[in-house]
Every structure is written in structure tokens, then in C-alpha cells.
């Protein structure tokens, strides 16, 4: 079992539930914009949020953001991680300004003396350090040794940098080693998982947009989770980070690591379908999003909803779900716990299902 570290109010590793992370894509120095995005991520179900700290202004803003989120949410505020490269002084500032975790790549921070300054500040405040290694920033000697970027080289770099920090008397370490190559990413994490007991932050460096990146993320992250690898996860999409969180939740539910939210079943449609099922499912998903978030906040169990387009498989699937609909010609029979409870026109189906789910 991996060692456990504490990031704000979230445990990572040591058998703790796999946590979901995301990263702001607004300027950290723009405090109102940063706060708005943090609120949106919290509402979506994010557990930990990371902020880039590239300059002095961002490090100062980090402290203001930390103060405001704590004022709003107290001990339920999202843990904030400072992502720092090149300048060790910014990492120290962020730690002193309330960071719950610091993410660095010791290889680009500079001398061991500079890394030690970061470690000393983290140790003083009880803040864990994530050692983040990416395929685009491997050390020259490792590249020369392996001839190119490889899974073994990524694992070697991650271990070297983690052991450097551990040698400074610090053990609250989380490690990531990301690549945009799905196979390489998987192999690198497997090597590290077998060689060390550091909690692992898993994900891909880049996977594309929320649409194009879903396949890579599902395979790359899902395969690791099913192999027992990963203690905290970040899906990386170009665009709105809320979409990262929502998809990460879907992944964790799909692999059986979260039993909350919504299991929406809908048929692929065929020539027997006499309703616009695609539009109906899209409308239902939109209506259900706030309902499901409220259920999750209250700790209510996961709800299964079946939306079926015809009377062949529809009634059977609808009966097996908590709520379901079997559609006919412009209408739908609503099932609740196996029994027909209503028969409504096509245009009212999504609203009726959402209403009934809110009452469960």
C-alpha cells in the first residue's frame, strides 16, 4: 500500500478514495476570475485544485485566493496546490501564503540548495510536495542514456527527484510522471508503482479537447485505475476545466471507484424509434446535472435512469432502473422501481424524469 499524505482536507494514498483534481486556466493574478473558476470546480465535484504560480504577482494573489476560499467555505474549502517552475522563491512564497500542496520539478528548480529551501518551507508548514515529471522536460543525461523519451526514463527521473527530496528528510511526497503517449504513460506509471510507495498522481500530459481527449483519457487513466495504480487523478482537456472534473467522475464511476451520481442508460436507437431520443437525452442530462450534484452533496446513493427508444428492449431496461422510460410513437411510459407510473408526451419526458429523480 502507498504511503498516505494530507493535502488540506483530502487524504492521498494509503487506501484513501481516489481524489479528483483540476487546474485553473485563468490568470492566477486575476483574483476574481480565479475565485469564480474555483467555485465552478467545487460545484462540479472537484476535490483538489491547482493554480499556476509563474511570477511574483501570482504568488501574492495565491494568498488572497486562499484567504477568500477559506472565508467562504471554512474547513470545506477546496485544497489549493501551487504549481511552480524555475524559481524556488515563488514556491516558498506560495507555501507561506497558504498552499496545501506544492508541485515542483526539482530538475528545473535549480541547485540542491534551492530545492532544500522549498523542502524546509514545506516541512515547517506540513505541506506535501508533488514531484512532477513530464516527457517534455526529462534531464539531458537520462535522455542520452535511453536515447529518447521512454517509460523507463520517465520512471528513473521521477525516482531520482523524489529520492533527492526524501534525502533532505522529507517524506510527504506525491509523484507524477506524465506523457501524452498513452502506452508510454501506462508503462511508466506501472514501473514506478512497482518500485516505490509514493502516492501517484495519474493522468496524461495533454489529451486534446473535451471531445477528442475522452478516448485517450478513458484508456490511459482507466487502464491504470483498473490495474490498481493511482491515488489522485487529473483529466487534462483543452478548455473549460469543469469538463475535466465531470469526465473524471464518469471514469471513477465506470471502474467502480465511486458509487454516486448518475448511471444514465440510453439505447443507440434504430428504425423502430419514433421519438427524438438524442435530443431527449441531451435535455435530460442538462436538467439532471444540478439535481445529481445536490444528491451527491447530501450523500445519497447513485441513481440509474434508462431512456429507451422503443417497446422491444425498452420496458425491460426501464423496469431494471430506478427510473426509466420506454418510448412509443411520440409518447413514453415512465417506470419507477419496476412499475409504470405515468404515460407522457415526448416533450414532457425529460422534465418528468428529472422531477421524479429529485424526489428519490
Mean pLDDT of all residues in the chain?
91
Compute, in degrees rounded to 10, the torsion defined by CA atoms 76, 24, 199, 160. -140
Give the pLDDT of residue 163.
Answer: 94
Give per-residue pLDDT as tens, 8-28: 999 999 999 999 999 999 999
Give the pLDDT of residue 222.
Answer: 96
Phi, psi of 53 (to 5 degrees): -125, 80
Beta bridge partners of 343: 333
The dihedral of CA 348, 350, 355, 359: what is its sign? positive
Distance CA 250, CA 272 (A): 30
Q: Which residue has the cell 478516448?
A: 215
Asked whether the beta carbons of 202 and 232 are under 8 A apart, the reply is: yes
Which CATH number among 3.40.718.10, 2.60.40.10, 3.30.420.10, 3.30.413.10 corresponds to the domain 262-359? 3.30.413.10
Which CATH number among 3.20.20.20, 2.40.50.100, 3.40.50.2300, 3.40.50.1980 corresponds to the domain 5-254? 3.20.20.20
Q: Residue 298 pLDDT > 80, yes or no? A: no
Give the pLDDT of residue 260.
Answer: 62
Give the residue extent of every domain in the chain. 5-254, 262-359
Question: CA distances (Å), 172 to each of 2, 163, 185, 351, in order?
Answer: 11, 12, 23, 48
Question: CA distances (Å), 63 to each of 52, 101, 112, in order?
Answer: 13, 13, 26
**pLDDT mean over 200-219:** 86
Nearest to 201 by CA among 232, 235, 236: 232
Give per-residue pLDDT as tens, 16-70: 999 999 999 999 999 999 999 999 999 888 999 999 999 999 999 999 999 999 9
**pLDDT mean over 281-291:** 83
Amino acid at each position: 500500500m502507498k504511503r498516505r499524505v494530507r493535502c488540506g482536507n483530502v487524504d492521498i494514498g494509503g487506501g484513501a478514495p481516489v481524489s479528483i483534481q483540476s487546474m485553473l486556466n485563468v490568470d492566477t493574478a486575476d483574483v476574481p476570475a480565479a475565485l469564480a473558476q474555483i467555485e465552478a470546480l467545487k460545484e462540479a465535484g472537484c476535490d483538489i485544485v491547482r493554480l499556476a504560480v509563474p511570477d511574483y504577482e501570482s504568488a501574492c494573489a495565491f494568498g488572497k485566493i486562499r484567504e477568500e476560499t477559506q472565508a467562504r467555505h471554512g474547513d470545506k474549502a477546496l485544497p489549493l496546490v501551487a504549481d511552480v517552475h524555475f524559481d524556488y522563491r515563488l514556491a516558498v512564497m506560495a507555501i507561506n501564503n497558504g498552499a496545501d500542496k506544492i508541485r515542483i520539478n526539482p530538475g528545473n528548480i535549480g541547485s540542491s540548495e534551492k530545492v532544500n529551501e522549498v523542502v524546509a518551507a514545506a516541512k515547517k508548514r506540513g505541506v506535501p510536495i508533488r514531484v512532477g515529471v513530464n516527457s517534455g522536460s526529462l534531464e539531458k543525461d537520462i535522455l542520452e542514456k535511453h536515447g529518447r523519451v521512454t517509460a523507463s526514463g520517465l520512471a528513473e527521473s521521477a525516482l531520482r527527484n523524489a529520492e533527492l527530496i526524501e534525502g533532505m528528510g522529507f517524506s510527504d511526497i506525491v509523484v507524477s510522471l506524465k506523457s501524452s503517449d498513452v502506452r508510454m504513460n501506462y508503462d511508466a506509471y506501472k514501473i514506478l508503482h512497482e518500485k516505490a510507495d509514493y502516492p501517484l498522481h495519474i493522468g496524461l500530459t495533454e489529451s486534446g479537447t473535451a471531445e477528442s481527449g475522452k478516448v485517450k483519457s478513458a484508456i490511459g487513466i482507466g487502464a491504470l485505475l483498473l490495474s490498481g495504480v493511482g491515488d489522485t487523478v487529473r483529466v487534462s482537456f483543452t478548455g473549460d476545466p469543469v469538463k475535466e472534473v465531470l469526465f473524471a467522475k464518469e471514469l471513477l464511476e465506470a471502474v467502480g471507484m465511486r458509487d454516486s451520481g448518475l448511471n444514465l442508460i440510453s439505447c443507440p436507437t434504430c428504425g423502430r424509434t419514433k421519438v427524438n431520443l438524442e435530443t431527449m437525452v441531451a435535455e435530460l442530462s442538462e436538467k439532471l446535472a444540478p439535481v445529481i450534484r445536490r444528491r451527491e452533496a447530501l450523500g445519497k446513493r447513485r441513481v440509474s435512469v434508462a431512456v429507451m427508444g422503443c417497446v422491444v428492449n425498452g420496458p425491460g431496461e426501464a423496469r431494471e432502473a430506478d427510473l426509466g422510460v420506454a418510448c412509443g410513437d411520440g409518447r413514453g411510459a415512465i417506470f419507477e422501481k419496476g412499475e409504470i407510473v405515468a404515460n407522457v408526451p415526448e416533450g414532457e419526458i425529460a422534465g418528468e424524469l428529472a422531477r421524479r429523480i429529485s424526489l428519490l
